[in-house]
Structure 1
């Protein structure tokens, strides 16, 4: 059995994101791994080529040998799933990343589990280049939810691609602009306007939390101008956040909650939450807890010969 100092971890990041905040986050996580005596390698998804040859999954590239486990800080679902096919432990799993990446999939996955959330409508799908001619269904949705309401693109981060819609005319205009992009429509939680809670969960524990608020925007996200302060979740909020991560199969997650009039409501679950913001707010390094959880979960096991045999350099 290997000790942590014998283990090698890949931290997979997107090769096309060049923004400083993503580079800083990757280095921040790598430093946490090294504090745990884990050999950590930052590797771009663009350096890895998933291949199925003669029905067998293989990985090609110029990366040396396969690691013992992978911390997947990207949303390249096909790559994450391919690494799992090679027998590698991947955190979070490809299925958890896939579900959390889509607001529509997240809410449907949590449905039927007594998770409180805003009333959510899933509008009819259309194909790329095919306009919605009959808009009657959106008039019905507007009547069902009332105005204002919130339109959220299924795929989006940092509070972007989220729109507060005040009138039926605005709703129809937004729908036409979105075209074939997947989105959901939700009731607007007035009681939580400009404020929410981010709770970081690792395993079955709350590690840190912050309350975010904005004086100028209905969204509380810090990239939308919001500010944050350390927050101690209530027992109800903590249980809700842990339960959401558990249902979605996320080993760790940033769970966003809204302030409902009768208690907390699930807003969204982030499988790859931005750890620097909550570190700057609370002084708590979530990455340290993430590596502790991964080490405990894999039992400090070794990589198999099968994994190595599937490696092919080009």
Structure 2
């Protein structure tokens, strides 16, 4: 039995240890894993299954057309690597009992052109152009800007209202706004309200469509709690109520096979879980450094069982 691990070359370099783990654990289960560079996947002999770690839905679609089992599907890969598409999908599929309460931050999509328009407006100090941000600024004084395809806490920034402490529009505040937006030029973005959370969130690892482990993360330097940015992590025991709540999100994916993903929830100041993001190509370093879990071993075993049931 042969499986491909498809990565972009620069990602493969960063994930050498992860790839090696798959090869080692695969041998124990009679599976031969092979790393395949993104540039070469369509010229290789077809394998039995594929782990698409490129974040490119076209790769999954290519294998689906050839009836090769691929994790994850083109649909899941597409929505799981576009933050706005994730929210739009869940808005259509989550049950009313979840949506009647606050389940995600209020969010707006910003096109690349809109981001450039904002950049020019910040330079000209034209407050009225920032229409989508007005309600956030007037309520909390700031909001969150993210690229739709960033990961690991990269390409996430806080946009502060361009007013000084006295309410005056200050040169310094406008320059800070301009410099922040400048980082997102050429990027499709999502604008969100800032959830009061004391920089805490929980990542819930999903393996084979089931809750595997939850890890609470605490940010150190700013509002971001990502482990890769220096945040701390500890095991988090989900309550039965929280498990039922997360299960609603799993069911919302309507038959999509969730091989190994992460669901990130902000923990607000009341302790309520607010959905933040789906990590389709989830990292596992946090688990290996803070628990005795061997999620690669468990994932490989699950793949073997799942493949055996299908074929």
Shorter-chain TM-score: which interval? 0.7 to 0.9
Alignment counterpart, residue 228 of structure 1, candidates 233, 255, 258: 233
- CA 1:228/1:218 → structure 2, altered by over 3 Å: closer, same or farther? same
Give the conservation status (yes or no) of the 8 Å contact 1:151–1:184.
yes
CA RMSD of aligned residues (A): 2.6
- CA 1:28/1:216 → structure 2, altered by over 3 Å: closer, same or farther? same
In the alignment, what sits opposite 2:132?
Answer: 141
Listed as ranges, the matches of 1:1-314 within 5 Å are: 7-17=1-11, 19-20=13-14, 22-49=15-42, 60=43, 63=44, 65-112=45-92, 113=94, 114=98, 116-124=103-111, 126=113, 138-146=129-137, 147-168=141-162, 169=174, 170-171=176-177, 174-190=180-196, 192-248=197-253, 249=256, 250-262=258-270, 263-299=272-308
- CA 1:218/1:154 → structure 2, altered by over 3 Å: closer, same or farther? same
- CA 1:222/1:235 → structure 2, altered by over 3 Å: closer, same or farther? same
Higher relative contact order by CA 8 Å / sep ≥ 6: 1 or 2? 1
SS of 1:34 mapped into structure 2: helix
- CA 1:67/1:233 → structure 2, altered by over 3 Å: closer, same or farther? same
Give the conservation status (yes or no) of the 8 Å contact 1:68–1:89.
yes
Q: Separation in 1 of the partners of 2:63 and 2:190?
A: 31
TM-score (norm 2): 0.80
Q: Separation in 2 of the partners of 1:73 and 1:151?
A: 25
Ranges in structure 1 where 5+ consecutive residues have no aligned partner: 1-6, 50-59, 303-314
TM-score (norm 1): 0.79
Q: Separation in 1 of the partners of 2:131 and 2:118?
A: 18
Give the conservation status (yes or no) of the 8 Å contact 1:210–1:282.
no
- Equivalent residue pairs, number: 281
The superposition leaves residues 256-299 of structure 1 with CA deviations (integer Å, 9 ceiling, x where unpaired) of: 11112451001101111112321221221222332333333333
